Amino acid sequence: MPILVTQHLHVYLFSLIRLLTHLLLLPFRFYDPYQADINPHSPEDTLNGRLNSDGALDSFAEVAIWRLCGVHSMISIIDGSTQYFIAGARRDKSSPEDEIVNDSWFGCFQVPSQGGLCENTLAIDNDNDGEDPYPCFIIDDLKKDPRFESLPIVDGSVASYVWYAGAPITTKNGINIGVLCVFGDRPITGLSLERRKCTFHLSISTASASVMRDRY
């Protein structure tokens, strides 16, 4: 087996092991007794603060990159007109092993949601009578779509992403409150059924593995 393929396989397996470890520990993390000495003004003592420090969510973003052959994956909550990034991962092409690193959205932790790609993903109707078992919002070529061709992450101002795939993060009551998305830098012709299924199930797992499902 070529050395590069072996390295990629090792990194992918490491991401899966890391994810499984976090999932096994979740019952002990999200149901800890209340600690009275927690600083109420600490950023970690908020829902967003706890989610931002949750390694399980980062692991979901890492797996999404590997399974979809993407370069950047983000998990976010959208509240009104603001999109809050709570986890993310990026393929580090400067690394000799093409490593996946946890990263923010170009240094931003929140951005306006209006006019963005994830706004469309959030609007997906989950009640589609089974017509689409794995509802996702996919753009094969962002540079050819007039709605998104001028976005900074497309036109080269910030990045030059070519495709986008996202699935809504949905609560137990069927409300879309966030998005798991992946960007790629090489043209594609849609996503295979298996990759759509993976994206959809990762978004479900993201909701299940966090306190979000219990808060809404």
pLDDT level of residue 2 (50, 70, 90 thresholds): low
Measured in residues, the chain has a length of: 216
CATH number for 133:
3.30.450.40
**Mean pLDDT of the 37-59 span:** 53
Classify 197 as helix, strand or coil.
helix
pLDDT of residue 26: 40
The confidence band for 32, taking pLDDT boundaries of 50, 70 and 90, is very low
> What secondary structure, in 3-state letters, does 102-147 show?
ECCECCECEEECCCCHHHHHHCCCCCCCCCCCCCCEEECCHHHCCC
Domain that holds residue 163: 3-215
So what's the pLDDT on residue 126?
A: 73
Residue 48: pLDDT over 60:
no
Instruction: Please give the mean pLDDT across all residues of the chain.
Output: 77
The whole-number pLDDT of residue 157 equals 94
Q: What is the pLDDT of residues 191-201, one digit of tens each?
A: 999 999 999 99
Q: What are 31's two structure tokens?
A: 């149901």
Instruction: Give the pLDDT of residue 161.
Output: 96
Q: Report CA-CA distances (Å) from 103 to 106, 171, 190, 214.
A: 8, 25, 26, 26
Residue from 143, 192, 177 nearest 163 by CA: 143
* Number of domains the chain contains: 1
Query: Is pLDDT at 29 greater than 60 in this prediction?
Result: no
**Is residue 55 a contact partner of residue 145, using CB atoms and an 8 Å limit?**
no
Of 62 and 11, the one with more pLDDT: 62
pLDDT digits (tens, 9 = 90+) for 127-184: 766 678 899 999 999 999 999 999 999 999 999 999 999 999 998 888 999 999 999 9
